């Protein structure tokens, strides 16, 4: 097999995301992407769309978009949605959005839903959705103000990053920690393996 990068026997792995966290997670699992190619899609929820359906739909859409641009490659895409009940919290881009997210999450449990889609060079596709329940402590005014001042919330679903300062706000999770960071590693590795991604790539035994 000639991969998308022209190397015989070595298909390219393309990550359809601009997330540094997903690059870090894949690299941690021995699946460092050959190419990071964010897929530009409209992430606006459809009318009446449930958070879980939104996460799955966007992961699927991103994978398909990137696969069109990189035929012959394995493509992996993901989308993470933070939900309080049926309500999707935004990827906070302003201080006001971040404050509203923290106020809603403070002292409550919420769900983090990550959809994952993988497309093989021959067009076969695998999809998974991982849901994790996260508990937030009740935040004091000082904690909330300090976190907002850090700027760590910017661009994060729900206005926080569990792998950063906000980890101190979370006494309990039920499910996949890596999925809350941005990509469920167990499921992602299994999907790639199931579609024929060379296992030697993970363990450094390429030929």
Q: Which residues are catalytic?
A: 79
DSSP annotation of 8: B
The dihedral of CA 15, 17, 20, 25: what is its sign?
negative
CA distances from 72 to 35, 46, 154, 198 (A): 13, 31, 35, 14
Evaluate whether 131 touches 109 at the Cβ level (below 8 Å).
Answer: no
Please tell me the distance from the alpha carbon of residue 110 to that of residue 180, in angstroms, as a whole number.
11
d(CA 84, CA 107): 12
Helix or strand holding residue 27 (H, E)? helix 20-28
Element (DSSP H or E) covering residue 149? helix 141-150
State how far the Cα of 169 lies from the Cα of 161, in Å rounded to an integer.
10
Nearest to 187 by CA among 76, 112, 82: 76
């Amino acid at each position: 097999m000639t991969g998308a990068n022209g190397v015989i026997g070595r298909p390219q792995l393309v990550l359809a995301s601009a997330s540094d966290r997903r690059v870090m997670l894949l690299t941690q699992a021995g699946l460092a992407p050959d190419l990071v190619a964010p897929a530009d899609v409209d992430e606006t929820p459809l009318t009446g769309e449930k958070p879980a359906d939104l996460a799955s739909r966007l992961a699927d859409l991103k994978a398909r978009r990137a696969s069109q641009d990189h035929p012959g490659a394995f493509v992996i895409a993901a989308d993470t949605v933070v939900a309080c009940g049926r309500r999707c919290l935004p990827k906070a881009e302003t201080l006001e959005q971040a404050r509203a997210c923290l106020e809603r999450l403070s002292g409550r449990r919420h769900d983090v839903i990550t959809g994952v889609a993988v497309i093989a060079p021959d067009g076969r596709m695998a999809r998974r959705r991982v849901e994790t329940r996260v508990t937030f402590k009740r935040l004091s005014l000082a904690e909330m103000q300090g976190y907002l001042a850090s700027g760590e919330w910017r661009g994060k679903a729900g206005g926080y990053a569990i792998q950063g300062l906000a980890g101190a706000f979370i006494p309990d999770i039920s499910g996949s920690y890596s999925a809350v960071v941005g990509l469920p590693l167990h499921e992602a590795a299994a999907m790639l393996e199931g579609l024929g991604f060379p296992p030697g790539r993970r363990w450094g035994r390429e030929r």
